[in-house]
Chain A
Amino acid sequence: DSGVTQTPKHLITATGQRVTLRCSPRSGDLSVYWYQQSLDQGLQFLIQYYNGEERAKGNILERFSAQQFPDLHSELNLSSLELGDSALYFCASSVGSGGRHTDTQYFGPGTRLTVL
């Protein structure tokens, strides 16, 4: 158990819908990262927040957005869902801003999103 929690574990929805994935980082961690894992693209970095502010951005679609709240939990919002958005979405957290090599990322168990 990494200490990172994600809800829900599974989510099934239809094309065109909007969903919100939630992540609670480990106690004391200030950074939250979101990754998408699909069969064809592998594990891809989406976005990072540090203490409420966006820090790094990867290949995140415009239909996707995220935020980190004052209590440090984070939400990833996915809208206008398409079949290709079906994937595992992982959240990770780390103590610092992620810029140092010692800033290990701890991953949650993931949310499996299925778009029908």
Chain B
Amino acid sequence: DAKTTQPNSMESNEEEPVHLPCNHSTISGTDYIHWYRQLPSQGPEYVIHGLTSNVNNRMASLAIAEDRKSSTLILHRATLRDAAVYYCTDFAGGTSYGKLTFGQGTILTVHP
């Protein structure tokens, strides 16, 4: 299974940008990079995904390195509600169907 590595924890102040890194050492050429987050006492929720180009949506931006061995989830202005565990995954799809392999994730703490 594809394995990603992330820092165990990060801290930020409210209203400041947050850059959450992920290493994708075993990613294959057709795997997409997906990010999910898990708010306290909730199930994970989808954040964003991409293949090669940087991606933006209403929740966050995703920057993908040229060699695709690393990605960075960017929260432009952190709020208290963004405190969560953030997971990056390598999504193979195809005959792996929807199997998602989660690592330990990064615990993001946001200070008021």
Contacts and interface: CB of A to CB of B under 8 A. Distances in A.
A31 B102 contact: no
Given A90-B43, A99-B93, A105 B87 contact: no
B101 interface: yes
Contacts of A103: 93, 98
Given A99-B93, A106-B46, A109-B42, A42 B103 contact: yes
Contact of B45 (A2, A43, A55, A94): A2
A89 B105 CA distance: 18
A4 B46 CA distance: 14
A109 B99 contact: no
Given A2-B45, A105-B46, A58 B99 contact: yes
Contacts of B51: 101
A108 B43 contact: yes
Given A42-B104, A43-B87, A101-B49, A56 B44 contact: no
A45 B99 contact: yes
Interface residues of B, number: 25
A104 interface: yes
B44 A107 contact: yes
A55 B97 CA distance: 7
Which 7 pairs show the lowest CB-CB distances between chains A and B? A98-B98, A107-B43, A101-B32, A98-B97, A43-B102, A56-B97, A55-B97
21 contacts: A2-B45, A31-B97, A33-B98, A35-B100, A42-B102, A43-B38, A43-B87, A43-B102, A45-B100, A45-B101, A56-B96, A56-B99, A58-B99, A90-B44, A92-B43, A99-B96, A101-B34, A101-B49, A105-B98, A105-B100, A109-B42
Interface of A: 2, 4, 31, 33, 35, 42-45, 48, 50, 55-56, 58, 90, 92, 94, 97-101, 103-110
